[in-house]
A and B are shown apart, each in its own frame.
Chain A
Amino acid sequence: MNWQVIKAIVRRDLLAVSRSKGTLLPLILVPLIFMFLLPAGLGYFTPALSDMPGANMPDMAQFLDLLPREAMAEFETYSTDQLMIVFMLVYMLAPMFLIIPLMVATVIASDSFAGEKERKTLEALIYTPTTDMELFTGKLLSAWVPALVVSLVGFVLYGLTTNIAAWPTMGQIFFPNITWIVLVFWVAPATAAVGLGATVIVSSKANSAQDANQIAALVVLPIVALVIAQATGVMYFGTLITLILGVVFWVIAGVLLWIGVRTFRRSEIIARY
């Protein structure tokens, strides 16, 4: 593997992505909504919401029952409003964060795998002295690295937003906790890899970046399931569960990418054209 060549492939794909509005827009808008607008709104308005007559707020006692023992001590000092904010911003929205790496990975990979076929630029690229593995690695990295960078930026943005927006109620820095650190540095990279694997497989059949992205975007469903599971108390995102979730995602990503790399042989791609 020649890393100079892989770097050139990454540079090429990222230059192309940065110049397509259709690709760039979701990469900016989605993190802005989930990592800024949502926590800002929730952090600021949650206490007001809970005071509203007829507000259907989750049962705090039930939530507290689910909390790990070590967290209990910390939570005893919180008022009901503060508890509500911690519940919303630290726990409820945690699985939602995974949408960021997933979305970035599928959007860029659709453009770089299926989109490349659509634009017919692959035709010239396959005549370069790159090996199939170098091409594949370059294309994976050009989606995976931005997914990690955007996740990290989103995480920092989220941290600033929550702490600032909820300051009037909290009066202290309460974000992040260990679970979030695990989420950002262990689960998010795995989630991005799952999205990549799915996109590579879909792209080998799809004829346009848009088709590929629409189908690959279905992998967001398990994430939505996680959000619901947590909100309804079926599953609670403790540190251990989060660590295990990461392992599961890495395994799934491994399987998908293993299938994906077998579809990515230039002689096969050309024969399917």
Chain B
Amino acid sequence: MDKSPVIATQGLTRQFGDITAVDHLDLEVYPGEVLGFLGHNGSGKTTTVRLLNGVLTPTAGTAAVLGLDPTTAGAELRRRTGVLTETPSVDERLTAYENLSIYAELYSMPKDQIDHRVGELLTQFQLADRADDRVSGYSKGMKQRLALARAILHSPELLFLDEPTSGLDPVTTRMVHTLIRDLSGKNGRTVFLCTHNLDEAQRLCDRVAVLEFGRMVALGTPNELARNLWQGLRLELETSLEHVNATVKILRELTGARDIAQAEAQPVVTLSLSKRDLVPQLVNKLVETGIPLYRLTPQEPTLEDVYFALHEKEEAKV
């Protein structure tokens, strides 16, 4: 990409006592991109978002976000970024309308535009009929929708979403996914998406960064990562209906096989193997037990395969 990056960090590091929450992060994010920031609990995702918005100071390293230094131009930078925090952090004692209109004032939105913009968002996020109720009576999903509306209230160029769909039902999750696609696709906004949800990352993200113990251990498109980083194999096999349960049982006992899923009402099973070498072993076992094998086809690896492989590698190191 030849456009200048929206986010560029060099050796960005933050320590809390002995813990290094973010460890020498070198990352560039480009305009209009949806970047997935993947990592298990405590890997440093939230800390990175804080560093990039100038609400936490780095122990070492530098960052440039929208061309600004978060440590010195934090307020100016935050005018142009939007953040959905991990917990919705909406004011429970206020109504949805008040939550949004007060934030509009905090972003110095012109008074005569506030009503219109707030009304538009309340409708878009299906909160219009409850707009004047106190948020304390809202469901989790409603609070999350309100928090999202608040994060995009001032039409930020760069949006940080910290686990936007955790704990949401499928309908709301899909709504959030559509929103992310529209923001980056139609509106050219850049989205920094922290998530645990690998399926979400695979479907939404242009590129994915994988974080382990504060260090970035992989960066690339989901497919690149799958191709380059995964030594294993994803397979689909077909047997007969009466043997499908026995097949699954045998596969479960095979070390190195995981993510074993049985297709509904079909004699088809999918699984991931951590090494190619396991294939002959698998075939032998099935044939020995007298299970008929009609078909064995390789599949595109998923981000989940890559993620687990990376995670196991990192775990082995410590």
Contact = CB atoms under 8 A, between A and B. Distances in A.
Interface centre among A12, A19, A130 (most CB of B within 10 A): A12
A270 B91 contact: no
B107 interface: yes
A5 B85 contact: no
B314 interface: no
Contacts of A124: 83, 85, 89-90, 147, 150
Given A124-B147, A270-B50, A129 B89 contact: no
Nearest to B77: A129
Contacts of B85: 123-124, 127
A80 B87 CA distance: 66
B101 to A, nearest CB: 9
A15 interface: yes
Given A123-B85, A127-B85, A8 B91 contact: no
A129 B109 CA distance: 12
Contact of A121 (B79, B82, B90): B90
Contacts of B75: 129-131
B53 interface: yes
Contact of B102 (A8, A20, A131): A8
Interface centre among B85, B87, B134 (most CB of A within 10 A): B85
A123 B50 CA distance: 10
B29 interface: no
Interface string B66-93: 0000000001101101110111011111
Contacts of A9: 106
Contacts of A5: 105-106, 108
Interface centre among B79, B93, B106, B134 (most CB of A within 10 A): B106
Interface residues of B, number: 33
Contacts of B147: 124
A16 B53 contact: no
A129 B57 contact: no
A165 B125 CA distance: 58
A128 B106 contact: yes
Interface string B90-132: 1111100010001101111000000000000000000000000
Given A16-B94, A124-B90, A4 B78 contact: no
Interface in A90-133: 119-131
A267 interface: yes
B57 to A, nearest CB: 5
B251 interface: no
A270 B56 contact: yes
A131 B147 CA distance: 21
Interface centre among A7, A128, A130, A271 (most CB of B within 10 A): A128
A129 B106 contact: yes
Nearest to B71: A267
Interface in A202-257: none
A12 B89 contact: no
Contact of A16 (B16, B54, B57, B93): B93
B91 A267 contact: no
B55 interface: yes
A127 to B, nearest CB: 4
A251 B106 CA distance: 32
B87 A120 contact: yes
Interface in A1-46: 2, 4-5, 7-9, 11-12, 15-16, 19-20
17 contacts: A2-B108, A8-B102, A11-B105, A12-B98, A16-B94, A121-B90, A124-B85, A124-B90, A124-B147, A125-B89, A127-B55, A128-B78, A128-B103, A129-B108, A266-B55, A267-B54, A267-B56
Given A19-B134, A124-B85, 14 more contacts: A4-B105, A5-B106, A11-B105, A12-B102, A15-B98, A16-B91, A123-B85, A124-B147, A125-B106, A126-B55, A127-B53, A130-B75, A267-B57, A271-B56
